[in-house]
Structure 1
């Protein structure tokens, strides 16, 4: 994962679940986010009509939906940059 977060400056819905993102450093690409939209805040945003309401929140530098659902810009940046979702090591040291 990136050591810092890049802001998203533009989002375009290409199809249900697929977005074209532009970051503040000029990186641009498509990403399918539907499978990443899990949890109780996403039901409305997962519907086709709700998904299309995505916007950029300039204050937080990420994409958001009207009910407050959002996705982490650093994770989206890594996906667009590398084509892979970043791994999150959940191992706990004992």
Structure 2
């Protein structure tokens, strides 16, 4: 599985995730915002505090809220722009 090298949160509750193969995928968080524990991400400042997990195994906001690299890769939509 590809590892996450960077993540950026957008104003419309999407994550732009760059993988170690150079592919960038957009992952829409809006459907998850009514699920536990993701309701806290409705606070945009908290949502934008997303970080890449050590080793690139996913992204997280705290110890209870994370998404695996598999989830991001499988359900993200490939986009044509770089985050650099």
**SS at 1:31's partner residue?**
strand
Q: CA deviation at 1:38?
A: 4.9
Structure 2 runs not aligned, ≥5 long? 80-84
Partner of 1:73: 69
How many pairs were matched up?
Answer: 79
Give the aligned partner of residue 29 of structure 1. 25
Work out the CA distance in 1 between the residues paired with 2:13 and 2:31.
8
- With the length of structure 1 as denominator, give the TM-score of the two structures: 0.66
Q: Which structure dedicates a bigger proportion of its chain to strand?
A: 2
User: Runs of at least 4 residues of structure 1 off by over 6 A?
Assistant: none
Q: Which has the higher contact order (CA 8 A, sep 6+)?
A: 2
Partner SS, residue 45 of structure 2: helix
Q: Larger Cα Rg: Structure 1 or Structure 2?
A: 1
Measure, in 1, the Cα distance between the counterparts of 2:63 and 2:43: 13
